[in-house]
């Protein structure tokens, strides 16, 4: 992991994300910890086909995970699980090993104690998240993850036409209702109405 320098990775993630923030520090550190735990050394190079991440939040840290791991929605190597938790699972597709990294709730309050002389809460947090030990910041756990064939990177396995709106649905996201093949919005599982 010595090819991956923390400060360099942090600079790059702050550049991609648009600003340096406590979330970038957490995201970079979660990624380094997770990748090491599953034996991935070169996520953007030799190991890029072996890695998939499940992010449980759509927050600043998510961009840092993308920056460090090279995983993205567009490559289908980043899965967004809308749990609202500061947690990420890193999975090695080659070995099946998966480790979930969760930010500890106490990390917030402890960050304030680290640099009491810094008045700005945000700055104190940023600096503390750099200084704190992994064990103070994160809980990690081995987990089992089953990645479905239709969720893997690569060409879509299936593409069907919605019988209501006529739009096409790929990757087996269609729904069967009363014998009709429908897209999720037409099956009333959508985020929009017309
Ligand atoms: Zn941010
Ligand atoms: Zn439809």
Assigned domain for 194 exists: no
Nearest ligand, measured from the Cα of 174: 2
Assigned domain for 50 exists: yes
Of 17, 18, 24, the closest CA to residue 130 belongs to 24
Mean per-residue pLDDT for 125-150? 96
- The domain total for the chain is 2
Judge if 97 and 177 occupy the same domain: no
CA of 127 to the centre of ligand 1 (A): 14
Assigned domain for 122 exists: yes
pLDDT band at 6 (very low <50, low <70, confident <90, very high): very high
- Dump pLDDT digits (tens) for 46-71: 999 999 999 999 999 999 999 999 99
CA of 30 to the centre of ligand 1 (A): 15
CA of 167 to the centre of ligand 1 (A): 36
- How many CB atoms within 10 Å of residue 128? 22
- Dump pLDDT digits (tens) for 68-120: 999 999 999 999 999 999 999 999 999 999 999 999 999 988 888 898 898 88
Q: Quote the tokens at residue 58.
A: 């759509």
User: How many residues does this entry show for the chain?
Assistant: 194
CA of 157 to the centre of ligand 2 (A): 19
Assigned domain for 16 exists: yes
Q: Contact at 8 Å (CB) between 41 and 47? A: yes
Of 108, 18, 10, the closest CA to residue 65 belongs to 10
Assigned domain for 34 exists: yes
Judge if 124 and 169 occupy the same domain: no
């Amino acid at each position: 992991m010595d090819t991956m320098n923390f400060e360099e990775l942090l600079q790059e993630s702050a550049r991609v994300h648009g600003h340096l923030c406590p979330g970038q520090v957490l995201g970079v550190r979660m990624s380094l910890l997770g990748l090491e735990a599953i034996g991935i050394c070169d996520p953007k190079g030799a190991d890029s086909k072996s890695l998939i991440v499940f992010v449980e939040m759509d927050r600043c840290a998510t961009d840092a995970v993308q920056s460090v791991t090279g995983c993205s929605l567009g490559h289908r190597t980043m899965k967004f699980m809308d749990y609202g938790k500061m947690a990420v699972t890193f999975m090695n597709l080659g070995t099946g090993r998966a480790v979930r990294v969760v930010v500890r709730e106490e990390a917030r309050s402890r960050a304030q104690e680290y640099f009491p002389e810094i008045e700005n809460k945000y700055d104190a947090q940023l600096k503390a998240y750099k200084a704190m030990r992994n064990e103070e910041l994160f809980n990690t756990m081995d987990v089992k993850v089953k990645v479905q064939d239709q969720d893997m990177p690569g060409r879509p396995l299936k593409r069907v036409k919605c019988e209501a709106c006529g739009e096409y649905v790929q990757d087996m996201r269609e729904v069967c209702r009363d014998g009709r093949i429908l897209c999720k919005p037409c099956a009333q599982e959508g985020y929009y109405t017309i």
